[in-house]
Amino acid sequence: MMKPVCFLLLLAFAPLAAQVGVIRNADRIDVTIEGKPFTAFYTGAGAPKPYLHPLRAASGKIVTRRYPMETFPGEANDHPHHRGLWFTHGDVNGYDFWANEPSQKGVGKGRGKVALRKLGKLSGGGKSGSIQAVFEWQYPDGKPMLTETRRMVFYSDPVLRTIDLDIALKAIEKVRFGDTKEGTFAIRLASELEEPSPRSKPEPARTGRMVSSEGRQGEKEIWGSRAAWVDYSGVIEGERLGVAIFDHPSNPKHPTYWHARGYGLFAANIFGEHDFLRKPADGSITLEPGQALRFRYRVVIHPGDAQSAGLAELFRKYAAK
């Protein structure tokens, strides 16, 4: 007679289903939060570089541009290499890993490719889930010049959507990251988050406002400047939302330079000093075989703007990790 009661008690105290799900599919890895889609990680043959697409706020609204993966009314169909969230650079040993779509001509010696070598542990959980993977940055003929080891952690929260990225680049041979503004850790944002411009399409309304940790505002003040974080906020389908990128204090050359444009490109780039400073400089970094660079970033998708979201305090907590 006690068995039904015991069974009910076991159900009552059983662990809740994981709030962050990480599900492997044929061409991507889906990430869900509280059973709802958050993003997907694309690493397959159709991706010249790994990328996350799309990114969503806690409300479910998409905060990244759909193109070139999809077509969507009102979007600017420029820069086909701006795929969701990605990490590459425009000059590595003279090869372009940034604008490396098959449809693009490429600059310098040609287009490089970031290819998946090994998919590591995928895990979900009540508060977070993670993806681990190893990639090769390859010459056009497929020969690897460096390996990238990446770990991404996705967090569950009622209000925020947060991603931590930990990326290590290790040289197989001598590798030079050249001085160019075309890089490096980047997001292409939804049309509504672009800064208003006479050149913008009329719909949807462009409502974006860019601010930095140093108090600068807009592309004119932020592009090429250094800051610990930058935030882009605006109104998407009636909801004020923002996307922030945090540059961890342990990163090379912290605080990073920003290749942040009013049309929605949002990138941290430590290499482009000649372009950013508008004077003779050399921001390149050379790695000898076996040497490595490590980059840590946090992306925070939040309601409101930088001030109402308390980004300064959120960064302080992240910097202490």
Alpha carbon separation from 45 to 102, 113, 114, 145, 197 (Å, rounded): 12, 10, 10, 19, 36
Identify whether the C-beta of residue 284 lies closer than 8 Å to the C-beta of residue 152. Answer: no
Alpha carbon separation from 159 to 56, 163, 203 (Å, rounded): 12, 14, 28
pLDDT-based confidence at 7, cuts 50/70/90? Answer: very low
Average pLDDT over residues 35-41: 97
pLDDT-based confidence at 105, cuts 50/70/90? Answer: confident
Q: How far apart are CA 137 and CA 117, in angstroms?
A: 10
pLDDT on residue 148: 98
Average pLDDT over residues 271-285: 95
Q: How far apart are CA 158 and CA 295, in angstroms?
A: 28
Contacts of 7 (CB under 8 A, 6+ apart): none
Average pLDDT over residues 137-155: 97
Identify whether the C-beta of residue 51 lies closer than 8 Å to the C-beta of residue 86. Answer: yes
pLDDT on residue 27: 86
Average pLDDT over residues 278-292: 96
pLDDT on residue 298: 99
Element at 9 (helix H, strand E): helix 3-13
pLDDT-based confidence at 18, cuts 50/70/90? Answer: low
- Provide the 3-class DSSP secondary structure of residue 94: coil
- Domains belonging to the chain, first-starting first, are 38-319 (2.70.98)
Torsion sign, CA atoms 185, 189, 194, 200: positive
What is the percentage of the chain residues whose pLDDT exceeds 90? Answer: 88
Residue 158 burial (10 A CB sphere; 0-12, 13-18, 19+): exposed
Q: How far apart are CA 278 and CA 252, in angstroms?
A: 21
pTM of the full structure: 0.93
pLDDT on residue 102: 87
Average pLDDT over the chain reads 93
